[in-house]
Amino acid sequence: MIRIPCPNCGPRNVSEFRYGGEYNPRPADPTAVPESEWVRYHYFKNNTMGEQVEWWLHQSGCELWFLVERERRTNDIIKSYLWADGDSR
Amino acid sequence: MSLKLLRHGLSGRPPERMWHSRPLKDEYEVVIIGGGAHGLACAYYLATQHGITDVAVLDKSYIGAGGSGRNTAIIRSNYLTPEGTNFYNESVRLYENLSVELDFNVMFSQRGHLTLAHTDASVRTMRRRAEVNRLQGVDSSLIWPEEISRLCPQLDLSDHPRYPILGALYHPPGGIIRHDAVVWGYAHQADALGVHIHQHTEVTGIDLTNGEVAGVRTSRGVIRTGTVLNATAGWASTIASMVGLSLPMETFPLQACVTEPLKPFLNVVIVSGSLHAYISQSDRGELVMGASVDPFASYSMNSSLEFLEGIAGHVLELFPCLSNVRVLRQWGGLCEMPPDFSPLMGFTPIKGFLIDAGWGTYGFKASPICGKTMAELIASGSTPDLIKPFRLSRFDEHDLVGEKGAASVGH
């Protein structure tokens, strides 16, 4: 089973977690961006065949939302960290 | 057919090849990326319906190595929206005639398809689906445990299970097919009409000139072309990124398994949305079982024990009599899920770059009609009415086709 390193609890089985989708920051100034930008934000995905930063929730554990960098071809976890600790790309 | 067989048997010569390896030309009128049922069907209909035979079908592996050879071969048209129902119904009609059209037995068995309802809410959804289906001329109705037990007495219809069976959506024209035969049949006829099928030819890039498609770079050389169709199922985002396009979908693995062969035991397709399971018996006697997509996005096609535990538990809830049957094989495939569970078909902002993508968990059953409509789109330069609802621009127009209720589990 794949193990996800929770920044709080350490590595746990993936079944304890919920995948929360690609890391996709909201447009910085919501009133300034055109509608097409919101459409992209809501629906379009990078769907990278490679490394991708993602949201995960430790649902059956400490209930923390955090970021995971994962290689999507192999499911290897590169690193995990709190959003506040990241460079908030 | 049988005469041909006899003649071959007596002649001692090896049978003719179904399709041939041909040299890669440096220019084609149309290049189709993805040698699955969709891509090959499109090539076939381009040749038969529109006389366009200067077509190359490229696949990075062998033909049918992706979703076309990994699905659970269920065909049905009892969808939730009128757009979806009409579209898949046309596909079922083409499938019904496919063995004759391709002169190749695709073993389509319309044995009936039952979608079980275990809650009041799903009974209501089934009733709605039955009404939508009937309005569109699709044979579909809501039936109750008495009739379910007549169609499938092996099911546990008692009130003992955690989720007792309350009713079912019965779709008599639904059934199963030999999915490899569909791929081979289309490949055979397309090849005979002059289409070039290039296996083990990976696309590494797409060249644009002034924002229009000019050519395709492959592992075997460069091809000049003005029209590229991206029909690569789970990998369509990677091909689209070669022209700088992102698509509204995310790729998830979907797993399936088969048991050891049994004597004929189950002559309908059983689907349970609430239990995330579907099961049918193949002509070899194996029980083919699948579930919903894995809980997180990935391009890995590895099998997991979590899936096997889940599906075994759920199938045993439906069929306790299978508790001693052993699982023979397990595999995974890739499904790209758009937010509304409807495909993305047709033109893109890049001229000459067409998509037939977003096929999630419902792509195989749509193969013939996708091939036919995409061929019409390529030949005529305009979108056929049947696939207008699935255009990529529907997201900008806020005109989504919500098909999740009928497509998320019931493949």
Report ipTM for this prediction: 0.94
Beta carbons of A45 and B246 less than 8 Å apart: yes
Query: What is the model's pTM?
Result: 0.94
How would you label B264-289 residue by residue, b for 16+ Cβ within 10 Å and e otherwise? Answer: eebebbbbbbbbbbbbbbbeeebbbb
Beta carbons of B237 and A49 less than 8 Å apart: yes
Chain A residues inside the 8 Å CB shell of B397: none
Q: Which is more confidently placed, B3 or B386?
A: B386
What pairing do the DSSP bridges indicate for beta strands B221-224 and B212-218?
antiparallel
Residues near B125 by beta carbon (within 8 Å), at least 6 away in sequence: B80, B117, B405
Residue that is written with structure tokens 């939508």 in the block = B132
pLDDT at residue number B408? 58
Chain B residues inside the 8 Å CB shell of A47: 237-238, 246-247, 249-251, 297, 336
Mutate to test the interface with A, among B245, B249, B298, B308 (most CBs of A within 10 A): B298
Is pLDDT above 90 for A27? no
End-to-end CA distance of chain A: 29
Alpha-carbon span B409 to B273, nearest angstrom: 6
Among B residues 312-341, those touching chain A with beta carbons less than 8 Å apart: 336, 338-339
Residues near B109 by beta carbon (within 8 Å), at least 6 away in sequence: B175, B176, B177, B283
The helix (run of H) or strand (run of E) holding residue B15 is none
In whole angstroms, how far apart are CA B234 and each of B29, B41, B184, B297? 25, 18, 20, 11
Shortest alpha-carbon distance between residue A60 and chain B (Å): 15
Beta carbons of B249 and A47 less than 8 Å apart: yes
Q: What is the pLDDT of residues B155-190, one digit of tens each?
A: 999 999 999 999 999 999 999 999 999 999 999 999
Q: Which two tokens stand for residue B116?
A: 């079980």
Alpha-carbon span B378 to B373, nearest angstrom: 9
Beta carbons of A14 and B296 less than 8 Å apart: yes
Chain B residues inside the 8 Å CB shell of A19: 295-297
Nearest by CB to A43, from B238, B304, B339: name it: B339
Chain B residues inside the 8 Å CB shell of A49: 235, 237-238, 251, 299
pLDDT at residue number A51? 96
Alpha-carbon span B78 to B257, nearest angstrom: 24
Listed residue (B318, B313, B323, B403) closest to B363, CA to CA? B403
Is pLDDT above 70 for A87? no
Mutate to test the interface with B, among A37, A43, A74 (most CBs of B within 10 A): A43
A75: amino acid identity, one letter: N
Shortest alpha-carbon distance between residue B246 and chain A (Å): 6
pLDDT band for position B14 (50/70/90)? Answer: confident
The region, left, alpha or beta by phi > 0 then psi within -120 to 50, assigned to residue B113 is beta
Is pLDDT above 60 for A89? no
3-state secondary structure of B369: helix
Where do the H-state alpha helices sit in B220-292? 236-241
Q: What is the pLDDT of residues B261-314, one digit of tens each?
A: 999 999 999 999 888 899 999 999 999 999 889 999 999 999 999 999 999 999
Residue A60 forms contact with B (CB below 8 Å): no
Listed residue (B338, B284, B288) closest to B73, CA to CA? B288
Where do the H-state alpha helices sit in A1-89? 35-43
Beta carbons of A47 and B246 less than 8 Å apart: yes
Chain A residues inside the 8 Å CB shell of B249: 45, 47
Q: What is the pLDDT of residues B313-367, one digit of tens each?
A: 999 999 999 999 999 999 999 999 999 999 999 999 999 999 999 999 999 999 9
Shortest alpha-carbon distance between residue A51 and chain B (Å): 10
Listed residue (B330, B333, B238) closest to B33, CA to CA? B238
Residue B357 pairs in a beta bridge with B344
